[in-house]
């Protein structure tokens, strides 16, 4: 509504949150006017520059802010009616996330809302709300579980975990072996809660979208379609809005999602499950770089302080070292489930010393024999290589040319399927050249191996071998390339579960969460790459990946009594393999925590990165050096270590130069205190002549890699 319809004295003054980045230094809220008093949490559309954008009312008063000329205040363009306001707990959660992760309030708040809110006009919104209200009125009342649901009796370990969970007054670490039935505990815990409280809601998070369909089906089978909502980026914009509204209004009592779901509006949230809590996918790497796992813990505490109470369960066979350390200190309640369901044995580790294999071996002969033997018995094998494409590099050995990406400090990956060179950082794709672009040599060849090449080579090595029905062995590949099309993931998973595949080649997306009943052998290739990486978390991630991958084998005890994990390696005496062979995560974690404590690395210190992106590396470095000097003068800076800025490992992406600097402290409050003061100085540093060309900066709190 325009100001022409009102006098300057009329109306109410609103603090509205809109999506303005922190580096714009516009503040957390902008002031608007409206004729009516609007409740905090109301969704609105407001003018911003020449656009009309969605916003959330954060406060409403009768008086204009001090220093604001009432005649210059703009009016709210529209109120998105028919939708309950976002409740105080949600607003407190968003406020905490914005402060802790050093982002603007609007960046976090608007990122948590469905993207279709940005595009829907008020008339379209009202039509949609009427349609949803009519659909809800015509529906049947929610029941806790459908009459056809089959609920198995929990095992002794599962029941003990459920009993302890009911009594827990702190975060719970469900430390269960792969195949121990952690998902059944989640299902049973949700059932108990929903039957006890007819208004309660449950949030279950998984690290990646490819795990959602399988989990969704299990929850739908137990609770019915009407009770389950989804929150992940794989949905269409219309679906995301529909599921968000179902959760926001309480119609959906169970929400399944990826990390974005932790910021979803669930006004009656009573239980949060973070499955595979160790997975790095829970840490956002763009925008508001938040940790969904850590926010889940905070949200449960918030809902407990200002609501009916909420429990949080962190489930994993290989917990993050931060979570394990907290459990060892007694801050989290640890519940152990070491036994696999159905009497299945954990996979035995077999290390293959590559120094004793024939030169140029792709797969050791023993691996090929083991796969053919298992296929002859109707069993399946999984070959893990965490690198997609045909080869990571295409090279000319005559002049030394390599398939560099012209826009990035990286190589373009050779994809044989469509004969393209593709950059996995900026997305640039071009046809493979007929000859070397530098010298014209026709003999350019792939260097290294990806899953596409591995699939081809495995099929060749297994040629001539047969299935029990006399048909040739079938090899399939599952990675981001083969599951890109709509419905392709579900189709491929159905083929594996149906026994149509004898050997599955894949990246880490197949190594976690999936319940493959017929796989009895897992082969993990290229494991050595992480043993001596510069990233201090690389060993932790490798151990988790190998444990999770091995956990896909032998989940059905009736098929094989000898599931195995085979790892070809040049370093068979590495301590990691000693702990892996014993399935002793506690031993591995103790070794790693001791090293971290000596080196004063997380969880014994707390870190933040200031990242800069600029047109030149010199501009990025100049900004970071000025920011470092400014930080050293802030109150409390004496409690921090300020490291010099350095380029990122991948220094240039899409023609943008990148650099960062590390801040570290043994005190989390001290680090946060300095970061909170730093924003004004950073805005000033951006205006320096030497920093001309700076595109953006961002602070990454609790980074996963440095």
Beta strand 564-569 with 519-524 is: parallel
Greatest extent of the chain over all pairs of C-alpha atoms, in Å? 88
The verdict on 244 and 334 lying in the same domain is: yes
Q: Is residue 438's pLDDT more than 90?
A: yes
Closest CA to 203 of 145, 252, 152, 151: 252
pLDDT for residue 126? 85
pLDDT for residue 141? 45
pLDDT for residue 612? 97
The verdict on 30 and 68 lying in the same domain is: yes
* Confidence band of 547 (pLDDT split at 50, 70, 90): very high
Average pLDDT (526-540) is 91
Q: Ranked by mean pLDDT, which of 28-37, 91-100, 361-370 comes out on top?
A: 91-100
pLDDT for residue 362? 81
pLDDT in tens, 623-674: 999 999 999 999 999 999 999 999 999 999 999 999 999 999 999 999 999 9
Tokens of 623: 């900004």
The verdict on 399 and 456 lying in the same domain is: no
Question: Which CATH number does the domain housing residue 256 bear?
Answer: 3.40.50.300
The verdict on 588 and 660 lying in the same domain is: no
Helix H or strand E segment including 596: helix 585-599
CB-neighbour burial class of residue 368 (10 A; exposed 0-12, middle 13-18, buried 19+):
middle
- How crowded is the C-beta side of 648, counted as CA atoms within 13 Å? 20
The CA–CA distances, whole Å, from 546 to 32, 178, 540, 576, 581 equal: 54, 11, 10, 10, 11
**Torsion angle, CA of 98/101/104/107, rounded to 10 degrees?**
-80
pLDDT for residue 219? 94
Q: Is residue 137's pLDDT more than 50?
A: yes
706 within some domain: no
* C-alpha span between 408 and 657 (Å, rounded): 9
The verdict on 123 and 228 lying in the same domain is: no
How high does pLDDT run on average in the chain?
A: 91
Question: Which CATH number does the domain housing residue 21 bear?
Answer: 3.40.1440.60
The verdict on 456 and 383 lying in the same domain is: yes
* Confidence band of 560 (pLDDT split at 50, 70, 90): low
Domain boundary among 340, 362, 380: 340
Q: What percent of the chain has pLDDT over 90?
A: 74
Question: Which CATH number does the domain housing residue 654 bear?
Answer: 3.30.70.100
Strand partners, 17: 56
Q: Is residue 7's pLDDT more than 70?
A: no
* Confidence band of 390 (pLDDT split at 50, 70, 90): very high
The verdict on 155 and 131 lying in the same domain is: no
The verdict on 315 and 439 lying in the same domain is: no
Q: Which domain holds residue 37?
A: 3-136
Neighbours of 445 (CB within 10 A): 11
Domain boundary among 136, 171, 188: 136
The verdict on 90 and 163 lying in the same domain is: no
Q: Is residue 350's pLDDT more than 80?
A: yes
Q: Is residue 511's pLDDT more than 90?
A: no
Q: What's the domain count of the chain?
A: 5
The verdict on 242 and 274 lying in the same domain is: yes
320 within some domain: yes
Q: Enumerate residues 6+ apart whose C-beta is below 8 A from 283.
A: 259, 289, 290, 291, 292, 293, 702, 704
* Confidence band of 139 (pLDDT split at 50, 70, 90): low
Closest CA to 342 of 561, 565, 585, 566: 561
Least confident of 25-29, 30-34, 70-74, 321-325: 25-29
Q: What percent of the chain has pLDDT over 70?
A: 95
pLDDT in tens, 14-50: 999 998 865 555 678 899 999 999 999 999 999 998 8
* Confidence band of 328 (pLDDT split at 50, 70, 90): very high
Domain boundary among 273, 306, 340: 340
């Amino acid at each position: 509504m325009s100001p022409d319809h009102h006098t300057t004295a009329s109306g109410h003054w609103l603090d509205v949150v809109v999506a303005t980045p922190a580096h714009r230094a516009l503040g957390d809220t902008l002031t608007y006017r409206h004729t009516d008093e609007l409740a905090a949490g109301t969704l609105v559309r407001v003018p911003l520059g020449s656009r009309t954008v969605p916003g959330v009312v954060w406060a409403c008063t009768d008086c204009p802010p001090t220093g604001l000329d009432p005649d210059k205040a703009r009016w709210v363009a529209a109120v998105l009616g028919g939708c309950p306001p976002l409740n105080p707990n949600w607003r407190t959660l968003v406020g905490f996330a914005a402060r802790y992760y050093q982002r603007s309030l609007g960046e976090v708040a608007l990122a948590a809302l469905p993207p279709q809110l940005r595009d829907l006009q008020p008339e379209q919104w009202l039509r949609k709300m009427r349609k949803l209200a009519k659909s809800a009125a015509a529906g049947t009342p929610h029941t806790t579980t459908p009459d056809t649901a089959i609920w198995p009796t929990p095992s002794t370990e599962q029941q003990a975990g459920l009993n302890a969970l009911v009594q827990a007054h702190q975060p719970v670490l469900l430390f269960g072996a792969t195949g121990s039935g952690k998902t059944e505990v989640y299902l049973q815990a949700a059932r108990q809660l929903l039957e006890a409280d007819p208004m309660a809601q449950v949030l279950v998070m998984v690290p990646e979208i490819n795990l959602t369909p399988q989990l969704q089906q299990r929850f739908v089978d137990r609770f019915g379609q009407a009770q389950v909502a989804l929150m992940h980026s794989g949905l269409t914009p219309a679906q995301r809005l529909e599921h968000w509204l179902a959760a926001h209004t309480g119609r959906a009592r169970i929400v399944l999602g990826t990390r974005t779901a932790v910021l979803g509006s669930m006004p009656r949230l009573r239980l949060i499950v973070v499955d595979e809590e160790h997975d790095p996918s829970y840490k956002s790497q763009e925008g508001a770089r938040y940790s969904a796992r850590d926010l889940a813990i905070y949200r449960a505490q918030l809902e407990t302080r200002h609501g009916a109470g909420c429990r949080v369960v962190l489930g994993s066979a290989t917990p993050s070292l931060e979570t394990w350390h907290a459990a060892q200190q007694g801050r989290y309640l640890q519940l152990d489930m070491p036994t696999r369901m159905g009497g299945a044995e954990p996979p035995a580790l077999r290390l293959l010393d590559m120094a004793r294999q024939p030169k140029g071996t792709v797969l050791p002969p023993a691996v090929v024999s083991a796969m053919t033997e298992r296929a002859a018995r109707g069993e399946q094998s999984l070959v893990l290589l965490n690198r997609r494409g045909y080869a990571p590099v295409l090279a000319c050995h005559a002049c030394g040319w390599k398939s560099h990406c012209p826009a990035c400090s990286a190589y373009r990956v050779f994809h044989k399927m469509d004969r393209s060179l593709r950059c996995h950082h900026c997305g640039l794709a071009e046809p493979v050249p007929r000859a070397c672009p530098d010298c014209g040599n026709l003999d350019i060849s792939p260097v290294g191996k990806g899953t596409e090449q591995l699939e081809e080579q495995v099929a060749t090595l297994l040629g001539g071998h047969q299935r029990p029905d006399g048909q040739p062995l079938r090899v399939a590949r599952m990675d981001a390339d083969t599951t890109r099309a709509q419905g392709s993931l579900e189709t491929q998973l159905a083929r594996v579960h149906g026994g149509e595949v004898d050997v599955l080649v894949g990246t880490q997306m197949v190594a976690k969460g999936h319940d493959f009943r017929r796989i009895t052998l897992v082969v993990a290739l290229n494991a050595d790459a992480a043993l001596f990486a510069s990233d201090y978390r690389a060993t932790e991630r490798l151990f988790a990946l190998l444990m999770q991958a091995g956990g896909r084998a032998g989940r059905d005890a009736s098929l094989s009594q000898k599931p195995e994990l085979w790892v070809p390696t040049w370093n068979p005496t590495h301590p990691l393999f000693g702990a892996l062979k014993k399935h002793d995560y506690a031993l591995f974690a103790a070794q790693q925590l001791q090293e971290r404590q000596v080196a004063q690395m997380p969880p014994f210190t707390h870190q933040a990165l200031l990242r800069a992106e600029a047109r030149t590396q010199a501009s990025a470095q100049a900004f970071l050096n000025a920011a470092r000097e400014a930080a050293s003068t802030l109150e409390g800076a004496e409690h921090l270590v300020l490291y010099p800025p350095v380029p990122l490992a991948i220094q240039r992406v899409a023609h943008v130069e990148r650099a960062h600097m590390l801040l570290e402290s043994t005190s989390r409050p001290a680090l946060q205190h300095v970061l909170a003061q730093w924003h004004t100085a950073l805005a000033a540093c951006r205006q320096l002549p030497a920093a001309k060309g700076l595109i953006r900066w961002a602070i990454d709190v609790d980074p996963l890699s440095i």
